């Protein structure tokens, strides 16, 4: 039941503001009852002062994007582009101590320096320079070019380091191949007689994989000071209060305050009010890893809910748990507008059957008579890892122009993105249009489950489309609910062949980017925001994505010994703000989950190829547009105040004449 491209359903009527469904490229849904149909979309003009401002911004874009094409210099390809993405604003205000070999962050120290190291660039040939290895980065600076050629790679990005022979470069016959997690590989060569060549290799391996060498990740040494404390972004009690919880049907439980119920769940959970702790413990014993169904999101009007969990331990003998069956019935009963519960199992049906033979399984209609089970047929972590490997092969270092589209298609990457979006649309549609509560799970409930619940919540709740709201969404659905970041990414671990590694979070961010392309005015954040999140998923500069669950992070004192990524981002919001953002609070987004509407995220996956990058400084243009927008907003507000003053003055002059209401000027740019 894909509704991605279907006509918009009726807006939900409820106590207060109505909600409107928005299809990508389509009109907003018509209101129920006597309300007239609306032709407004997130990008359609309305004739207001606000729209005039937006048209002026659009005109400004046209004038500013007609600039000259930058040169193809190698320094532009690597130095100017690379640094803004990874640690750009960290240098602002002279925060980096500039040294001859490498700029250093607070807490960063040099471990080894090697002269006459050759970087074998796949685009420009061999470049000789100085290699500096610190406890955070590998830094190469050329001695041959002006401006200097710079490679600046956080060590956390490195997946593996291998020794290679480089006979074609004469004396430089020893070399290293450095395979990275961000879609690129690097090759270095140095002279065999280089005295510290062993020291180079050992320091690089030791510092790139500190966990495997009993060393702390650099995040615990980083001493930067930011104006904002990002650890305060997410407060679970405040977030549940924003959703209107607790209420008569749902309570906030602290049964997991010591992580005894489920060691991969957060301390604070939302469960049905009538459920007793003893019954909850029995449900936990029946669910894989103790991950009981708990509330993620509640509809503000219908009270339909998204709950998440892991698979039931049904096994080959169809074992049942009366407490679990009653528990799901209670979740359904909490929503008075529906007498059905939809269980979305993210897995392929065949895989779920295999898991059942191993002691797992899925909910049967006989045990859960009021539930409907839907398999979303999404592949497992191993398939996704292989798909990304194939994608990397076709985007770096060379691109076959004659077979580009067929090569992208052969990776199935966009097909898997489509399946995730389609599944999330089905979940969001059941909640919004069907007013039906849903339960979402996969096997363990921390990979595909997080992808689907977070995407559905992003479609349903405009708060999560703001910068802070998106940070809260990641903290809540991914970090606190135990997505195994350390295991899936392999932070500081040299076992690059670990079967548990998989690009699950990368896929989620890719899906979000696809939504921003279809709804360019619906998100407060820009593309750089998403790329920065992914860069620091790997960098180990911040503590945000470290460890596998809340319990581990508490044990490692991550929030007191490291800095949050949100501290960095929220200290410079202008860098990450979308100048076209319009705050439509009650719009539900239904992206088109079709390959015809999806595209490869070139600015992320292919950014290391200088021939595939934008030829104009788009990010700088967007910053300038943001400044123009701010100025225009101020002018609109001044006009509003002036109009209000005139209206009051006119009313006073009329004396006893009938009053006339003024039409407000909308300023939600």
As a residue count, the chain comes to 669
Contact 526, 623 (CB under 8 A): no
Contact 119, 82 (CB under 8 A): no
d(CA 550, CA 553): 5
d(CA 3, CA 589): 12
* Spatial CB neighbours of 84, under 8 Å, sequence gap ≥ 6: 528, 619
How many CB atoms neighbour CB 35 within 10 A? 12
**CA of 464: how far to CAs of 1, 19, 245, 449, in Å?**
25, 15, 17, 17
Contact 128, 169 (CB under 8 A): no
Which residues are part of a known binding site? 355-358, 380-381, 442-448
Least Cα distance to 270 among 310, 298, 289, 301 occurs for 298
d(CA 156, CA 448): 25
d(CA 223, CA 217): 13
Q: Is the dihedral of CA 359, 361, 363, 364 positive or negative?
A: negative
How many CB atoms neighbour CB 125 within 10 A? 10
d(CA 211, CA 438): 39
Contact 267, 479 (CB under 8 A): no
Marked catalytic residue, from 262, 442, 511, 549: 442
Please name every residue paired with 134 in a beta bridge, in sequence order, or none if there are none: 110
How many CB atoms neighbour CB 538 within 10 A? 22
Q: Radius of gyration of the chain from Cα atoms?
A: 27
How many CB atoms neighbour CB 635 within 10 A? 11
53 is catalytic: no
d(CA 360, CA 316): 8
Dmax over Cα atoms in the chain, in whole Å?
A: 99
Structural tokens at position 397: 């270092």
d(CA 58, CA 665): 20
d(CA 466, CA 472): 10
Q: Which long-range contacts (CB under 8 A, 24 or more apart) does 533-536 make?
A: 533/474, 533/509, 533/565, 534/182, 534/506, 534/509, 534/604, 535/85, 535/86, 535/154, 535/157, 535/182, 536/86, 536/565, 536/568
**CA of 656: how far to CAs of 495, 575, 652, 659, in Å?**
83, 53, 9, 8
Which residues are part of a known binding site for substrate? 355-358, 380-381, 442-448
Listing from the earlier edge strand, what are the strands of the sheet with 150-154? 150-154, 137-142, 125-134, 110-121, 185-190, 174-180, 158-165
Any idea which residues carry the catalytic annotation?
442
């Amino acid at each position: 039941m894909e509704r991605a491209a279907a006509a918009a359903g009726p807006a939900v009527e409820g106590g207060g503001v109505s909600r409107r469904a928005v299809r990508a490229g389509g009109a907003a849904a018509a209101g129920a009852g006597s309300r007239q149909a609306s032709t407004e979309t997130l990008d359609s003009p309305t004739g207001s002062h606000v729209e005039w401002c937006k048209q002026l911004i659009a005109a400004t874009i046209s004038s500013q994007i007609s600039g000259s094409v930058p040169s193809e210099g190698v320094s532009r390809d690597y130095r100017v582009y690379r640094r803004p993405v990874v640690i750009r604003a960290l240098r602002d205000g002279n925060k980096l101590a500039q040294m001859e070999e490498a700029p250093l962050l607070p807490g960063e120290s040099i471990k080894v320096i090697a002269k006459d190291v050759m970087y074998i660039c796949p685009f420009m040939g061999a470049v000789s320079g100085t290699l500096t290895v610190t406890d955070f980065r590998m830094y190469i600076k050329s001695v041959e070019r002006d401006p200097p050629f710079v490679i600046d790679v956080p060590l956390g990005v490195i997946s593996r380091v291998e020794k290679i022979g480089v006979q074609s470069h004469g004396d430089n016959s020893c070399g290293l191949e450095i395979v990275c997690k961000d879609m690129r590989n690097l090759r270095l060569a140095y002279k065999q007689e280089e005295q510290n060549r062993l020291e180079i290799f050992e320091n690089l391996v030791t510092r790139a994989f500190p966990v495997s060498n009993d060393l702390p990740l650099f995040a615990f040494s980083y001493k930067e000071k930011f104006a904002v404390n990002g650890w305060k972004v997410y407060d679970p009690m405040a977030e549940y209060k924003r959703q209107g919880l607790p209420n008569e049907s749902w309570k906030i439980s602290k049964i997991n305050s010591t992580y005894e119920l489920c060691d991969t769940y957060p301390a604070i959970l939302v469960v049905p009010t009538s459920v007793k702790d003893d019954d909850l413990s029995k449900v936990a014993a029946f669910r894989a890893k103790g991950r009981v169904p708990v509330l993620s999101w509640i509809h503000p009007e219908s009270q339909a809910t998204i709950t998440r969990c892991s698979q039931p331990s049904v096994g080959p003998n169809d074992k049942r748990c009366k407490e679990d069956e009653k528990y799901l019935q209670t979740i359904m009963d909490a929503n008075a507008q529906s007498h059905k519960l939809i269980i979305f199992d993210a897995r392929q049906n065949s895989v779920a059957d295999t898991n059942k033979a191993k002691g797992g399984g899925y909910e049967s209609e006989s045990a859960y008579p009021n539930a409907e089970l839907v398999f979303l047929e999404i592949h497992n972590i191993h398939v996704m890892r292989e798909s990304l490997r194939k994608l990397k092969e076709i985007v770096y270092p060379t691109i076959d122009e004659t077979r580009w589209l067929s090569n992208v298609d052969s990776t199935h990457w966009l097909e898997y993105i489509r399946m995730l979006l389609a599944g999330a649309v089905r979940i969001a549609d059941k909640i919004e249009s069907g007013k039906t509560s849903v339960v979402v799970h996969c096997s363990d409930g921390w990979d595909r489950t997080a992808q689907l619940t977070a995407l559905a919540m992003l479609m349903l709740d405009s708060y999560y489309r703001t910068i802070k709201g998106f940070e809260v969404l990641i903290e809540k659905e991914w970090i606190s609910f135990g997505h195994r970041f350390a295991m899936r990414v392999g932070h500081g671990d040299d076992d690059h062949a670990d079967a548990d590694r998989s690009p699950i979070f990368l896929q989620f961010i890719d899906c979000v980017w696809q939504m921003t392309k279809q709804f360019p005015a619906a998100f407060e954040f820009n593309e750089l925001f998403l790329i920065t999140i992914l860069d620091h998923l790997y960098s180990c500069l911040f503590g945000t994505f470290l460890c596998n669950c809340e319990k581990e992070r508490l044990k490692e004192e991550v929030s007191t010994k490291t800095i949050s990524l949100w501290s960095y981002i929220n200290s410079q919001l202008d860098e990450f703000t979308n100048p076209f953002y319009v705050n439509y609070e009650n719009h539900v987004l239904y992206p088109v989950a079709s390959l015809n509407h999806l595209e490869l995220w070139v600015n992320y996956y292919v950014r290391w190829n200088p021939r595939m990058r934008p030829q104009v400084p788009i990010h700088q243009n967007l910053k300038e547009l943001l400044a123009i927008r701010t100025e225009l907003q101020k002018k609109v507000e001044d006009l509003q105040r002036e109009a209000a003053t005139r209206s009051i003055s006119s009313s006073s002059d009329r004396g006893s004449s009938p009053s006339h209401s003024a039409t407000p000027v909308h300023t939600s740019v």
